[in-house]
């Protein structure tokens, strides 16, 4: 006979067996009633969740300790949360590229961005029209290897080789932690990081990075310095309906988007810029030409397929009763933020930013911001990152965002498994303190 692992007591097995038996009986009844799959799926999910939570409550300390040993790394914003949706889409976004295809460096030489694949450009325009989050008319599209490359291309394009000194690059704190090193790592003579936009008082031209909604804190942002010689880069990586209400199409001089945070395809390394000024678009293209002689055509073709599937999921939602990508991801984010707020509100250890709901033109109703990161404050702890590392939760310190170490940024975009583990650990910390 197979030995029952000591992890499970007789009580655990009884509950599991009860859950499985009831579910089997109901499944038989349900199939007779012939009502489709939805109800059954919900019921089964609830049954299993109940059984699991019972097991969790009554499990032995050794079970808890073994999972608590694991380090969970939520320092990066790796968007693995979206994988389930794309698995469900099956072959809809599968592409086959024969060996003879995409061989040339060139894509469309009639365009300023000569390495931009026409199919990809078409799908960018279509997606922004469907979502209503950006004006594309009168804009040049510049594709980049992620929006990271486009940030560098934009800094290059907006600075002048004839200036007496490097142009200052600023962003309001807490700012995206990569901006300072992006601006300074090559010690460029063209531009230089000058810190928090709120404290910037130097006369003359400057470049301001405006991130809206903001990484790390999720608030909507406008330019902070607001002076005539300011050149603005709007980094709208998170201006998508799952993260924030879409109020109107963005209409700026230079706007950046990325597949990494919109559809979750960070590994594809595709971003795009919408650029009003022809000369700026030309210089950005030149930068990418010098840097990587264009952007992978394979990735652009894959990105075109993914963006097309997202647009179609939105367009078909009403006709086919399916769920659009944004509805799916919005609901998942809403569920996560609800769970997070419940845990944080249950104790005095932590606080979170508060947001006001606003009308979202995409969903046609009021929605709440639900950022891709939580910007968590440890109320009585000076160094929140070290404190959480002690509980085997890796986060990014507020210091890296030009803010207080009492804050940390934690990704909300990881797998269900990691997110649940995070919630359990935060809850256990609150109970301990
Ligand atoms: C605000 C912001 N901009 C740009 C990026 C870079 O994105 P990618 O290079 O993956 O397109 C990120 C990634 O986290 C981000 O949060």
CATH number listed for the domain at residues 102-314: 3.40.640.10
Which region holds residue 379: left if phi is over 0, alpha if psi is between -120 and 50, else beta?
A: alpha
How far apart CA 290 and CA 392 sit, in angstroms, is: 42
- The predicted structure's pLDDT at residue 56: 38
Low-confidence ranges of the chain (pLDDT < 70): 1-68, 318-321
> Does the beta carbon of 210 lie inside 6 Å of ligand 1?
no
> Does the beta carbon of 148 lie inside 6 Å of ligand 1?
yes
Centre of ligand 1 from the C-alpha of residue 270, in Å: 10
- Residue 272 pairs in a beta bridge with 143, 257
Q: Which atom of ligand 1 is nearest to the CA of 270?
A: 11
> Does the beta carbon of 77 lie inside 6 Å of ligand 1?
yes
> Does the beta carbon of 271 lie inside 6 Å of ligand 1?
yes
DSSP E strands in 27-173: the ranges are: 72-73, 140-145, 167-171
Each residue's pLDDT tens digit, 59-88? 333 335 546 679 999 999 999 999 999 999
Q: What are the CA-CA distances from residue 379 to residues 322, 376, 383, 405 (Å)?
A: 43, 9, 10, 11
Calculate ∠ Cα 238-422-179, nearest 5°: 35
Q: Where are the domains of the chain?
A: 1-69, 102-314
- The predicted structure's pLDDT at residue 79: 98
- The predicted structure's pLDDT at residue 15: 39
- The predicted structure's pLDDT at residue 65: 54
Q: What are the CA-CA distances from residue 5 to residues 13, 64, 169 (Å)?
A: 11, 15, 60
How far apart CA 246 and CA 240 sit, in angstroms, is: 7
> Does the beta carbon of 237 lie inside 6 Å of ligand 1?
yes
- The predicted structure's pLDDT at residue 229: 87
Centre of ligand 1 from the C-alpha of residue 389, in Å: 24
The answer to whether 139 and 146 have CB atoms below 8 angstroms apart is: no
CA–chain centroid gap for 33, Å, is 41
Each residue's pLDDT tens digit, 254-289? 999 999 999 999 999 999 999 999 999 999 999 999
Q: Which of 374, 127, 362 is nearest to 245 (CA)?
A: 362
- The predicted structure's pLDDT at residue 52: 43
Neighbouring CB atoms inside 10 A of 26's CB total 15
- The predicted structure's pLDDT at residue 97: 96
Cα dihedral sign for 317, 260, 173, 187?
negative
Q: Which residues contact 182 (CB under 8 A, 6 or more apart)?
A: 148, 151, 152, 155
- Residue 375 pairs in a beta bridge with 409
> Does the beta carbon of 215 lie inside 6 Å of ligand 1?
yes
Q: Which of 274, 276, 220, 226 is nearest to 248 (CA)?
A: 220
- The predicted structure's pLDDT at residue 319: 66
Q: Which atom of ligand 1 is nearest to the CA of 211?
A: 1
Residue 350 backbone dihedrals phi, psi, to 5 degrees: -125, 155
Centre of ligand 1 from the C-alpha of residue 80, in Å: 15
Q: Give 272's Cβ-side CA count (13 Å radius).
A: 25
- The predicted structure's pLDDT at residue 317: 79
């Amino acid at each position: 006979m197979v030995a029952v692992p000591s992890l499970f007591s007789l009580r655990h097995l009884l509950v599991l067996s009860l859950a499985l038996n009831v579910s089997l009986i109901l499944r038989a009844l349900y199939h007779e009633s012939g009502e489709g799959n939805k109800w059954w799926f919900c019921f089964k999910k609830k049954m299993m969740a109940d059984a699991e939570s019972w097991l969790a409550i009554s499990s032995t300390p050794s079970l808890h300790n073994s999972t608590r040993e694991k380090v969970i790394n939520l320092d990066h914003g790796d968007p693995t949360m979206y994988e389930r949706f794309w698995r469900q889409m099956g072959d809809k976004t599968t592409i086959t590229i024969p060996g003879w295809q995409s061989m040339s460096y060139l894509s469309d030489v009639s365009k300023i961005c000569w390495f931009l694949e026409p199919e990809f450009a078409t799908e960018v325009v279509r997606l922004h029209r469907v979502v209503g989050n950006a004006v594309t008319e009168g804009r040049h599209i510049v594709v980049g290897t992620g929006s990271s490359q486009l940030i560098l291309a934009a800094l290059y394009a907006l600075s002048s080789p004839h200036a007496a000194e490097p142009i200052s690059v600023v962003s309001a704190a807490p700012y995206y932690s990569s901006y300072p090193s992006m601006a300074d790592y090559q010690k460029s003579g063209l531009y230089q990081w000058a810190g928090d936009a709120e404290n910037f008082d130097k006369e003359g031209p400057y470049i301001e990075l405006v991130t809206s909604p903001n990484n790390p804190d999720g608030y909507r942002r406008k330019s902070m310095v607001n002076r005539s010689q300011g050149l603005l880069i709007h980094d709208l990586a998170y201006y998508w309906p799952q993260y924030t209400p879409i109020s109107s199409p963005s209409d700026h001089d230079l706007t950046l988007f990325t597949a990494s945070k919109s559809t979750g395809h960070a590994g594809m390394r595709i971003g795009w810029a919408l650029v009003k000024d022809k000369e700026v678009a030309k210089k950005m293209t030149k930068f990418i030409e010098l840097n990587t002689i264009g952007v992978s055509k394979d990735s652009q073709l894959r990105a075109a397929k993914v963006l097309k599937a997202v647009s179609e999921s939105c367009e078909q939602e009403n006709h086919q009763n399916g769920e659009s990508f944004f509805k799916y991801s919005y609901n998942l984010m809403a569920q996560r933020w609800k769970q997070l707020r419940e845990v944080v509100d249950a104790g005095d250890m932590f606080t979170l930013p508060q947001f006001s709901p606003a009308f979202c033109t995409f969903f046609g109703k009021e929605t709440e911001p639900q950022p891709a990161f939580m910007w968590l404050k440890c109320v009585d702890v000076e160094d929140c990152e070290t404190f959480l590392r002690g509980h085997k939760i890796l986060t990014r310190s507020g210091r890296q965002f030009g803010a207080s170490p009492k804050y940390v940024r934690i990704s909300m975009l990881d797998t269900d498994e990691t997110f649940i583990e995070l919630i359990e650990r935060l809850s256990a910390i609150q109970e301990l303190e």
